[in-house]
A and B are shown apart, each in its own frame.
Chain A
Amino acid sequence: MAAHTLNIYMLSLGRMHCHIYGRNVHKALNRATYATALSTNNSSLNKGFPDRGSRGPIIRRPRREEGEPRKDKMPVDQDWTAVYPTAAPFRPGSVPLPVRMGFPVKRGVPPEKKGNLELIKIPNFLHLTPTAIKKHCEAMKLFCTEWPSALDTNVKCDEHFPIKIECKDYVSAGTSIRNPSARIVNLRVKLSSLNLDDHAGKKMAKLLGERYYKETDIITIITDSCPVRQQNYDYAMYLLTVLYHESWKTEAWESEKTVADMEEYSWEDSPSQKNALSTLVRMQIAGEVEGDAVRDKLLGRPEVQEYRESVIRLMNEGESESSILQYREAVKKLLKL
């Protein structure tokens, strides 16, 4: 065993020696050539690269000439979906648009698209042109069922299906197919499609608060408190049912509703009515007997009705030049100017 190892050591030593010897010889030769021939060229033609010894020179493929950029060869009626079939970064050579992006230097313009990192960094939707989307739809049609032919207008859809549920599904390339945002359920329904009377409608609007938008009359309930979509959907339907039934009930404390709580201005029993009546009464002065009959008679007059209309308009709609002018005309008639 010991001899064996020794042998190996000897061999390796020997090889090393030879190696060293060989090199020295090599170098000597080199030196010799250098000394006599006075040439600067290395016989190995290294061009300044480090000496690779017996490994040989670094083989670099000769640089190809770059061809014409694709945008110059594009016909006008080409198929764009072939250029950008999927989401891909911005390639200046493939997009035939003279786009510029970036902060311009002083007295300059934004930099051009060639070599522009800003354009590459931002997301682009070049793969989602209308033609591309049509192709996607055609491909997806295989998996879809027919739209019912009876529901051809939006009005009919609203009539038969007033409640609209919106959920989102998420697809991404990653290790997990789950996305927690997919549990959110958005329920939309028009208040007018629910069977509510005047009091119930106002109470519902008050209960919903921000979730009810008066301009479009739409109730929006967004639920995301449960972990599963099915649970959120059930919760949203439950909320709707409870709101409906609660708003039909009238509680005892609802009788304490004050003027400040009212949604709309009502002229009856308002300070405006009192002022108008007292002014009219004072204008009649002597001879008239105070009483409900007089009051009703005064209220029934056309000027008073007109005045009432203008005040209601001012209060409910807010002020504008035209509403103020209408108020002015009404007051002038009332005061007989």
Chain B
Amino acid sequence: MAPTAVSNKLKATHRKQFQELQEAGEKGERERTMTLHRLFPLRLRQTIAQVRLLHGSGCGHQLEEVAMEPELRKETSVFRTQVNDPACQSERHLGQYYTLPTSHLHTIFPHGLPARYQQQVKTFNEGCVMVRQPALELISYLKAADYSKPAVRYLLYGLKGSGKTMSLCHTIHYCSTQGWLVLHIPDAHLWVKNCKELLPSSYHTSRFDQPIEASNWLRNFRTTNERFLSKIKLRQRYTWTKRESTEKGSPLGELVDMGVSRVKSSSDVVGAVLKELRLQAAETEESEGFRLAVAIDGVNSLWGRTTIKKEDKSPVAPEELTLIHNLRKMIDNNWCGGAVIATLSQTGSLYSPSSAYLPKELLGEEGFDSMDPFIPVPVSNYSEKEFESCYLYYLDRHWLQHPHSKTDEGKKEIIFLSNRNPSVLERLCAFL
């Protein structure tokens, strides 16, 4: 029953391909595997493997088929790796995709991933991140650093669309899996432009509050760091109004909840949270200490210009915004027990030329002096190997539908058009 039913399942075209495969099989094992991979995508391969098993049992080629199976698995994992823990990844896995577990996707990255990548995750039903050299380098630095010394600042820089934000997310994933507390600001540019509500700060008269952005961020912070919220206790008493205050010794979660519910004082809550974390990160591991990772995307906005205007139409300087002021304090290396990982971004930045990507250009004099000394980590376009695996991944996910894109010539065209730039490649393949 089985062979005839299964072969009825195969269409006529598939039967032809199958015959070709058998002919290739006469030539040799290697030829057979190559033809197999050329002709059939993954799912069909599994069907064929079953078919051949069934046929083989009839023809007596059983052993060969069984030997084929593990080879199949090995061939398909050229662009994928099963090592999903960033801590265990090494140079061997360069260029390969590892899967982000869905639970992590929701907790660690409620707001962190780039928009287009989030759409891709929804389409493909899985989040796969490529293991690339800049991220591995950063992770090795983080592993080797001494956390009793002041926080080291790392800066990811590179051309537009070369993968800085994704490398940052990869590093954040590592930090999370290692049990660090991650302070992720997904795009600092959002805090200096398009502010709907600007309140004068109650704490400091010359500064301005941004309640909406602050409460949004606090909500996401709460999602990311649930387990720390009850463990960390406040060292100081914070008075919000005459009647409300948060006592010393209460858990951080209470403070965060208050900030989310009482939107007016949320910017000051953010400031308080940052201060507490900064003071407490210096503790050693034994006395319930933790490591703090401050991850900021688009750090050049902290020292640039803003498009926010006061009521008399004069522009607001970044220092006059409470959120920015507090964030700048985090970047100083006067605290220990963690690291500051930042990305430069020209894409959302204001008043900077679109061809600028080097650190000093985008940071400016003031920014450079604040970040100095930092370790710049360059992020470049895909290498040959990385491009190969990206291409194979898209093929595997059936993202490349156009028949010409599956040929060698089509691949060369894609390389030419995108210059192996990850974001351009992604947008290009969306059309194909």
Which residues of chain A come closer than 8 Å to B336, judged between CB atoms?
282
The majority secondary structure among interface residues of chain A is helix
B56 interface contact, C-beta 8 A? no
Known contacts A319-B359, A324-B359; A282 and B149 CB within 8 A of each other: yes
Write the nearest CB–CB distance from A184 to chain B, whole angstroms: 39
Given the known interface contacts A272-B369, A328-B376, the answer about A279 and B360 at a Cβ–Cβ threshold of 8 Å is: no
Whether A331 and B374, one on each chain, are in contact in the complex, defined by CB atoms closer than 8 angstroms, is yes
In the complex with contacts A314-B360, A319-B358, A319-B360, A276-B373 CB distance below 8 A:
yes
Nearest B residue to A315, CB-CB: B360
In chain A, positions 297-337 with a C-beta closer than 8 Å to chain B are: 307, 311, 314, 319-321, 324-325, 327-328, 331-332, 334-337
Interface size grouping (class) on chain A: 20 to 34
Which size class do B's interface residues fall under? 20 to 34
Contact A282 B373 (CB under 8 A): no
Known: A276-B373, A331-B375, A337-B152. 7 other contacts (CB 8 A): A279-B373, A282-B336, A285-B148, A314-B360, A320-B358, A324-B358, A337-B144
Q: What mask results when residues 170 to 209 of chain A are scored 1 for a CB within 8 Å of chain B, else 0?
A: 0000000000000000000000000000000000000000
Task: Give the residues in chain B near A325, CB-CB below 8 Å.
Answer: 378
Q: Are B375 and A282 in contact (CB under 8 A)?
A: no
A335 touches B373 (CB 8 A): yes
B374-385, CB under 8 A of A: which get 1 and which 0?
111110000000
Which A residues are within 8 Å of any B CB, using their own CB? 271-272, 275-276, 278-279, 282-283, 285, 307, 311, 314, 319-321, 324-325, 327-328, 331-332, 334-337
Query: Which residues of B, 370-424, contact A by the 8 Å Cβ criterion?
Result: 372-378
Question: With A314-B360, A321-B378 given, is the CB distance from A275 to B369 under 8 Å?
Answer: yes
> Which residues from B are CB-within-8-Å of A272?
369, 372-373
What per-residue 1/0 map shows which CB atoms of B334-345 lie under 8 Å from chain A? 101000000000
Specify which chain B residues have a CB less than 8 angstroms from the CB of A283 in the assembled complex. 149-150
Complex Cα gap A285–B150 (Å): 10
CA distance A334 to B378 in the complex (A): 19
Tell me whether A331 and B149 are in contact (CB under 8 A): no
Across the interface, B333 reaches (CB within 8 A) one of A271, A279, A327, A334, namely A279
Q: Which residues of B contact A285 (CB under 8 A)?
A: 148
B376 and A335 within 8 A (CB): no
B376 proximity list for chain A (CB < 8 A): 324, 327-328
B141 within 8 A of A: yes
Docked-complex contact A328 and B375, CB < 8 angstroms = yes
Q: Which 3 A-B pairs have the closest CB atoms?
A: A271-B369, A319-B358, A331-B373
7 residue pairs from A and B, CB less than 8 Å apart: A275-B372, A282-B149, A283-B149, A324-B358, A324-B376, A327-B376, A337-B144
State in angstroms the CA–CA spacing of A284 and B359 once bound together: 28
A337 touches which one: B145, B157, B359 (CB < 8 A)?
B145
